[in-house]
């Protein structure tokens, strides 16, 4: 009798989601707080729009560069650790064999069976290094295109998020009216984004949605209050 193929549905886009979360979270929150703060001090929407666009440009570049450098650092760290492991399996062969045996023992594999696995890995240096990188150091080989992809994803998400709270100031002539619309639109966007983020990260969607909205709302409230006090 034919069997239904077993399909495992695992979420494998963790790094991309992380970059989108980083960019979108700051993109929604920082320009929102800036625009709200300026609304408490000035009434000219063109000043708020100019300052907001400048912040989005600077913020997206800074965030994207940070993502690029972080990914490059990960790749360099992996390369350095791999070179070290390649030297150790040659210079400290017995110690490395003992480490493999210990790792397999942690998984409950009997001693008699571990010997064969250790010998098999020792006969395959490249696979042995792969094994040590993953199971001893917990490192996965990074995608060589990861740095550029991360930078563009974070920067794009920041720009997308930043234009949401700023769009009412672009469309409306009154800063006060734009502030009210911006608050409603941005809080809704933060709520929806928080829910989606929770869905992908495995956190409770409702809790993630309310937490994200609360953080953005508090940041904007603080900025608005400070601007009103100073103005």
Q: How many CB atoms lie within 10 A of CB 229?
A: 9
pLDDT at residue 116, rounded to an integer: 84
pLDDT at residue 6, rounded to an integer: 45
Q: How far apart are CA 77 and CA 19, in angstroms?
A: 20
Q: How far apart are CA 212 and CA 189, in angstroms?
A: 10
Tell how far CA 204 is from the center of its chain: 18
Distances (CA, A) of 150 to 55, 158, 159: 20, 12, 14
Distances (CA, A) of 125 to 8, 81, 92, 137, 205: 31, 15, 13, 17, 45
Task: Give yes or no for a contact between 206 and 195, defined as CB atoms under 8 angstroms apart.
Answer: yes
Q: Could you tell me the two tokens for 91?
A: 């210079």
Q: ∠130-132-138 over CA atoms, to 5°?
A: 95
| Structural element, H or E, at residue 75 | helix 45-91
User: Using one digit for the tens of pLDDT, what is the confidence trace for 39-66?
Assistant: 767 777 888 888 889 999 999 999 999 9
User: Using one digit for the tens of pLDDT, what is the confidence trace for 105-144?
Assistant: 877 778 787 888 888 888 888 888 888 888 888 888 888 7
pLDDT at residue 8, rounded to an integer: 46
- pLDDT tens string for the chain (231 positions)? 445 554 444 444 567 878 888 888 888 888 888 887 787 677 778 888 888 899 999 999 999 999 899 888 888 888 898 899 888 888 888 888 888 888 888 777 787 878 888 888 888 888 888 888 888 888 888 887 888 889 999 999 999 988 988 898 888 877 788 888 888 888 888 888 888 777 776 778 888 888 878 887 777 677 667 766 765
pLDDT at residue 126, rounded to an integer: 87
Place of tokens 């295109």: 145
Q: How far apart are CA 183 and CA 203, in angstroms?
A: 25
| Structural element, H or E, at residue 29 | helix 14-39
């Amino acid at each position: 009798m034919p069997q239904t193929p077993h399909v495992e549905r695992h979420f494998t886009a963790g790094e991309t989601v992380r970059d989108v979360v980083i960019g979108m979270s700051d993109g929604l929150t920082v320009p929102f707080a800036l625009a709200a703060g300026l609304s408490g001090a000035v009434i000219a929407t063109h000043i708020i729009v100019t300052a907001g666009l400048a912040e989005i440009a600077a913020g997206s570049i800074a965030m994207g560069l940070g993502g690029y450098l972080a990914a490059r650092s990960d790749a360099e760290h992996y390369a350095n650790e791999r070179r070290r492991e390649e030297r150790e399996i040659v210079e400290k062969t017995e110690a490395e064999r003992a480490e493999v045996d210990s790792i397999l023992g942690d998984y409950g594999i009997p001693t008699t069976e571990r010997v064969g696995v250790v010998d098999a890995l020792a006969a395959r240096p490249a696979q042995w290094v792969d094994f040590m990188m993953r199971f001893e150091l917990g490192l996965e080989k990074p995608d060589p295109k990861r740095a550029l992809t991360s930078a563009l994803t974070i920067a794009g998400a920041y720009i997308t998020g930043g234009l949401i709270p700023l769009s009412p100031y672009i469309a409306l002539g009154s800063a006060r009216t734009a502030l009210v619309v911006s608050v409603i639109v941005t809080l809704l966007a933060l709520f929806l984004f928080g829910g989606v983020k929770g869905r992908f990260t495995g956190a409770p969607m409702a809790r993630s949605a309310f937490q994200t909205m609360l953080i953005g709302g508090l940041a904007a409230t603080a900025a608005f209050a400070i601007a009103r006090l100073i103005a």
